[in-house]
Amino acid sequence: MQVLEMVGDRSGSISPEELVSFLKKNLQYQEVRLGVLQQAIVNRAAAARGIEVDQPEIQAEADRQRRERHLERAADTLAWLSNQQITAEEWEAGIRDRLLTQKLIENLFGNEVESYFVQNRLDFDQVVLYQIIVPYEQLATELFYQIEESEISFFEAAHLYDIDPNRRQYCGYEGKLYRWSLKPEIAAVVFAADPRQIIPPVQTEQGFHLLRVEEFITAQLTPETRQEILQRLFREWLNGELNYWLNPYNLGEQKNE
């Protein structure tokens, strides 16, 4: 009882000081702080370019989210908002921020996607990949030869020995991955392999990898790839803006604007 009385009150409310203290103690404060700064940068850049989000756009996205969450009645939506401890206005403000970010990204980089794709086409080659990661080289080598000799299948070995529980559950399946998302030492051997080939152990800081290529997918500028390029360009731009804002030599300039 004494512990409960120290935090907030019986209604469950939490003071801003308690919230900040919790975030700092759990090493989450910097992440949240950077998120707030990033949104401020987006708002500033959008305003400078005359980019706005109107109410019909917010309503359309709210309706989409309601359908996604099966909130068919207004009462269902209000109950969900209450459970999230936010108001309808706060929910709409969050939607507005996300839509504004999407519009800014398109405004900044929409015309650069094709040229970026052409210049970096190899990065967007994809592979459907399975892998096993184990902690010891001897185990990796033994598994490699057992798989080669058909004493055990790759998928059974992944299910039994992989260090990652999720990958064990999916028998080593990693999914469809871009070349750029792989570690360089992994990408080098994977994209030099033949489909269905078992690649001998490769060491990284994670452990010893056994890899199996299911298929290669040649890079194409699909809607998915376009969004990936937009996000990559936006992250690079946003990091540059963040570094500028956080540079103490620029604080005076920012305050004077």
Least confident range from 21-25, 43-47, 246-250: namely 246-250
Q: What is the DSSP secondary structure assignment for residue 28, as one 8-state letter? A: -
User: Cα–Cα distance between 41 and 132 in angstroms, integer?
Assistant: 41
247: confidence class by pLDDT, cuts 50, 70, 90: confident
Residue 55 has pLDDT above 90, yes or no: yes
Q: Smallest Cα–Cα separation from 114: which of 222, 216, 218?
A: 222
* Residue 226, domain member (yes or no): no
Q: What is the mean pLDDT of residues 222-248?
A: 92
The range of the structural domain enclosing residue 147 comes to 126-217
Condensed to tens digits (0 to 9), the pLDDT of residues 125-154 reads 999 999 999 999 999 999 999 999 999 999
Looking at residue 23, what is its pLDDT? 86
Asked whether residue 134 falls in the same domain as residue 169, the answer is: yes
The DSSP code sequence of 190-249 is: HTTSPTTPEEEEEEETTEEEEEEEEEEE-----HHHHHHHHHHHHHHHHHHHHHHHH-GG
pLDDT value, residue 20: 87
Query: Sheet harboring 198-204: ordered strands across?
Result: 173-178, 126-134, 207-217, 198-204
Total domains, the chain = 2
Rounded CA gap, 203 and 211, in Å?
11
Q: What is the pLDDT of residue 251?
A: 52
Query: Which residues make beta-bridge pairs with 1?
Result: none
- Which residue is it, tokens 């030869």? 145
Q: What is the pLDDT of residue 110?
A: 96
pLDDT band at residue 90, thresholds of 50, 70 and 90? very high
130 and 105 housed in the same domain: no
Q: Looking at the structure, do residues 168 and 102 belong to the same domain, yes or no?
A: no
Domain check: are 91 and 23 in the same one? yes
Say whether both 19 and 92 belong to one domain: yes
What is this structure's pTM?
0.76
Give every CB contact of residue 184 below 8 A, 6+ residues apart in sequence: none
DSSP tag of 110: G
The domain that holds 136 is classified in CATH as: 3.10.50.40
- Strand 126-134 to strand 198-204: parallel, antiparallel, or no bridges (unpaired)? unpaired
